[in-house]
Structure 1
């Protein structure tokens, strides 16, 4: 089947930028998800500290596995609305749990280490996820983008 339209040079540039953004975000979340599998007890302690809940190792492994699967979908650009939005919502949850750090971004501990700088990184990543979701239709260098240009079923987009 012929593609709907040939990509213009600007479309290709936009698609390349979104490919870089998509792969970077998938890798960022993948690292956190992989650590859930590698060091699950650390995440049990985090859940207890930040959320006041006890979670089992099975729940940690399951959560990490789901996140890894979503990262693979995002990296490939498959089920884009679902996969990109799922990681966005997960990351938004993380940002909302740590909002107090935004109120004191320059706080340092007694050893001079900036203790709230990860929240600044979290905001940048949140902005990148929002941009990725808003620009899905320009994400041509993805499986979903390829399928859309070749009149394939929309549910894969």
Structure 2
């Protein structure tokens, strides 16, 4: 496999994996909006309506689909990364005690480790946009030349 194809395969894997990761969270907003209303009350002190939760979930799903096919890459990858930064900032305390256990011995902050790995993936994906050849955006770049927004 050529270096160009390895890079394209790597960005495809990152693109699909990260899009799927965020898509699952977005889809659950549509499936179980009550759970997200409780989380918003607990973490953010707000009381969103189900309509607001559905709207946020729908926007996130659209961004995930755009990122998955590699369309408007800087916008879609960047928006998903910013959403993930929001998640990280809401759970910041767990980063300072990564080995904490609950009364049953279960690690309670292990999702924060996952959060950091996902953020690293988003950063890598954004840095590798120019290597993302197996996407609609990559195809468009080859047809008309790269645009600043990719």
The TM-score normalised by the length of structure 1 is 0.91
* Residue aligning to 1:92: 85
Q: Are 1:15 and 1:140, in contact at CA under 8 Å, matched by a contact in 2?
A: yes
User: Could you say which residue in structure 2 is the equivalent of 1:130?
Assistant: 123
Task: Decide whether aligned partners of structure 1 residues 115 and 11 sit closer, same or farther in structure 2, where only a CA change above 3 A counts.
Answer: same
- Counterparts of 2:149 and 2:114 in 1: how far apart (Å)? 31
* Bigger radius of gyration: 1
Q: How far is 1:154 from its partner? A: 3.6
Which runs of no fewer than 5 residues in structure 2 stay unpaired? none
Match of 1:147 among 124, 130, 140: 140
Task: State the Cα RMSD in Å.
Answer: 1.5
Change (3 A) 1:141 1:103: same
What does residue range 94-109 of structure 1 map to in structure 2 within 5 Å? 94-109=87-102
Cα contact 1:147–1:156 (8 A) shared by 2: no
TM-aligned CA deviation for residue 155 of structure 1: 7.8
- Supply the distance in 2 between the matched residues of 1:103 and 1:119 (Cα, whole angstroms): 10
Q: Distance in 2 between matches of 1:133 and 1:149?
A: 18
Contact 1:40 1:61 survives alignment (8 Å): yes
Q: Give the corresponding residue for 2:26.
A: 33
Shift of 1:144: 0.3
Contact 2:12 2:134 in 1 (8 A): yes
Distance 2:149 2:95 in 1: 37
The question of 1:61 aligning with 2:54 is answered: yes
Q: Contact conserved, 2:75 with 2:149, CA < 8 A, in 1?
A: no
Figure out how many residues of one structure are paired with residues of the other and give that number. 150
Residues 59-92 of structure 1 deviation map (CA, whole Å, 9 limit, x = unaligned): 1000000000000000000000100000000001
